[in-house]
Chains A and B, each alone.
Chain A
């Protein structure tokens, strides 16, 4: 932990990333009680107000809704869904990847082939089609579908991490003292894959945000009036010339959040994987 802190101190980009991420988490937790408007509140006298005018920090959209407040509220849903998605898909991936890699042979081939087939359809296309067909996405359906779409990828990472440990002698030692497979997988091996697993979860967190924003943008994400960053962009795209702030600020919110997580995750992978 000490070296982790030391290395963090020497990586300005990681510090920037972590700070921005913490800022967004703070905004998601406490922001809604601090902003002056709710996400549905329409200021009928102040439609398409430029940023900074009439008490609207980032302006208003065509319906007179405060862009800043909507972004703050939006951070809540996107962070929640992305966090759940990254945890859920990593969890499922670890279970599947560990079982496939640990037992090897036919079990492995079976799971690998299924994963390969599922990976033949790009995650975004898969989620988009399924969500589009099901219609009326909720936080629950969004989380589950995106998690399923990402599970093949996380399973591969988990399988790879397991394989680096599987052929070590401490696993052999555990076997010849008669430990159960579950014990070997989750007590002997799992703690040693924690580095790659944590890196995968954070990277997956960033991917999930990109995915959820893209789904929102395509109109198959959360339904209005729930504030969604991706949706805010497509809703106002037609007025980009006259009111660019309605489009640019939500875009920047997405950009800052994903880049921040990526910077931090990049740092984590340097520290937790390469150093070992």
Chain B
């Protein structure tokens, strides 16, 4: 399959996934117990007012019609109106939260990707030695900790005992995140913990696989120095699976964001999602979950393309000589 063909087929599948997911999410909220209008107006509302609201919200239309309306609103960039915060356009709060979360995810990313690749490679090259055992154990342990547990441990050490960093990540009213960058540190570290374990372990095992390959042996027996073999021959091949892992775990990262943002009270997409669920704010739930899905699907797509591009076996077709 040529690169272009692969690109188009993945693009098509990405679109299909987003459409299917949007429908699933829409359907999911439909099954929510209780009447939406009743929920909005509260238990004290009269039957008439509930019926009237159902009419204005066009809740009596058939499912597909409502889905069509909802989806076309999204395509035009209209995320709808919040149910819980009456009269608030979701667009007005949503994108700022997304921006915060992106910044948090990014700061975790630039932290854990180089760190875990470096240590993973180191452990892989020194497989079986002491430094490998230490790195591997650290990876296993951090991977096993849910984000809130590592978060609590970090808070206990750095906020409670050392009093170095803020305990919560709330932005004071009237200020922006940029003025409070220190609140990013602990949440980003909590995410780094989990991701570090996962990525470094993957990197280690792919490095070991490559170091045991015939072509690395051939390179060493060609008389190339070990350091050169590691960097020129082994690393590129060993990084390929890691790229996939990092991309595939964007979803995990977002799951983690919800937990971490809840723990620290960080004003991001994750805590917004949580609030939406707690307050049963249907349009907001739909917007948040769909957005997380799109981010995830898109990052998978990018990863796949990067992988294909970096892998000559996919990029260059075999020609018969």
A218 in contact with B274 (CB, 8 Å): yes
- B26 interface hit (Cβ, 8 Å): no
Interface hits, A252-270 → B, CB 8 Å: 254-255, 258-259, 261-263, 266
B153 in contact with A251 (CB, 8 Å): yes
Interface hits, A199-221 → B, CB 8 Å: 206, 210, 213-214, 217-220
- A240 interface hit (Cβ, 8 Å): yes
Residue of A nearest to B255 (CB): A124
- A63 interface hit (Cβ, 8 Å): no
CB proximity of B302 to chain A, nearest CB, Å: 14
Mask, B146-174, CB within 8 Å of A = 1, is 11110011011001100000010000000
Interface hits, B189-246 → A, CB 8 Å: none
B interface residues (Cβ-Cβ under 8 A, vs A): 13, 16-17, 20-21, 24, 28-29, 31-33, 137, 140-141, 143-149, 152-153, 155-156, 159-160, 167, 251-252, 254-256, 258-259, 262-263, 273-274, 277-278, 280, 285, 289, 292-293, 296-297, 300
- A173 interface hit (Cβ, 8 Å): no
- A57 interface hit (Cβ, 8 Å): no
A134 CA / B33 CA spacing, docked (Å): 7
Interface residue from B32, B140, B147, B263 paired with A262 (Cβ < 8 Å): B140
Stretch at the interface among A32-40, A47-55, A241-249: A241-249
A206 in contact with B144 (CB, 8 Å): yes
Lowest 8 A-B CB distances belong to which pairs? Answer: A124-B255, A132-B277, A122-B251, A122-B255, A258-B144, A262-B144, A251-B152, A259-B144
Interface residue from A122, A135, A206, A219 paired with B33 (Cβ < 8 Å): A135
Stretch at the interface among A93-101, A113-121, A189-197: A113-121
CB proximity of B243 to chain A, nearest CB, Å: 18
Chain B residues whose C-beta falls within 8 Å of the C-beta of A122 in the assembled complex: 251-252, 254-255, 292, 296
Which DSSP category, helix, strand, loop or mixed, fits chain A's interface?
A: helix
B28 in contact with A130 (CB, 8 Å): yes
A241 in contact with B167 (CB, 8 Å): yes
A218 in contact with B258 (CB, 8 Å): yes
Write 22 A-B pairs (CB below 8 A) sorted by A numbering: A119-B251, A120-B17, A120-B21, A121-B21, A123-B255, A125-B251, A125-B254, A125-B289, A129-B285, A132-B278, A133-B28, A133-B33, A133-B280, A219-B278, A220-B277, A230-B148, A240-B160, A241-B167, A248-B156, A254-B145, A254-B149, A259-B144
CB proximity of A135 to chain B, nearest CB, Å: 7
- A82 interface hit (Cβ, 8 Å): no
CB proximity of B104 to chain A, nearest CB, Å: 16
CB proximity of B83 to chain A, nearest CB, Å: 13
- A271 interface hit (Cβ, 8 Å): no
Residue of B nearest to A262 (CB): B144
Chain B residues whose C-beta falls within 8 Å of the C-beta of A218 in the assembled complex: 258-259, 262, 274
CB proximity of A249 to chain B, nearest CB, Å: 10
Interface hits, A81-100 → B, CB 8 Å: none
A42 CA / B273 CA spacing, docked (Å): 34
A247 CA / B148 CA spacing, docked (Å): 11
Interface hits, A128-166 → B, CB 8 Å: 128-130, 132-135
A258 CA / B292 CA spacing, docked (Å): 27
Chain A residues whose C-beta falls within 8 Å of the C-beta of B156 in the assembled complex: 240, 244, 247-248
- A9 interface hit (Cβ, 8 Å): no
A214 in contact with B29 (CB, 8 Å): no
B259 in contact with A237 (CB, 8 Å): no
Residue of B nearest to A256 (CB): B144
Residue picked from B143, B152, B262, most chain A C-beta under 10 Å: B152
A259 in contact with B141 (CB, 8 Å): yes
CB proximity of B79 to chain A, nearest CB, Å: 17
B259 in contact with A255 (CB, 8 Å): no
Chain B residues whose C-beta falls within 8 Å of the C-beta of A258 in the assembled complex: 144-146
CB proximity of A160 to chain B, nearest CB, Å: 14
A121 in contact with B289 (CB, 8 Å): yes
Known: A128-B258, A233-B152. A120 touches B293 (CB 8 A): yes
Chain B residues whose C-beta falls within 8 Å of the C-beta of A259 in the assembled complex: 140-141, 144-145
A200 CA / B290 CA spacing, docked (Å): 30
Interface residue from A125, A133, A217, A241 paired with B148 (Cβ < 8 Å): A217
Known: A120-B17, A121-B292. A255 touches B167 (CB 8 A): no
- A13 interface hit (Cβ, 8 Å): yes
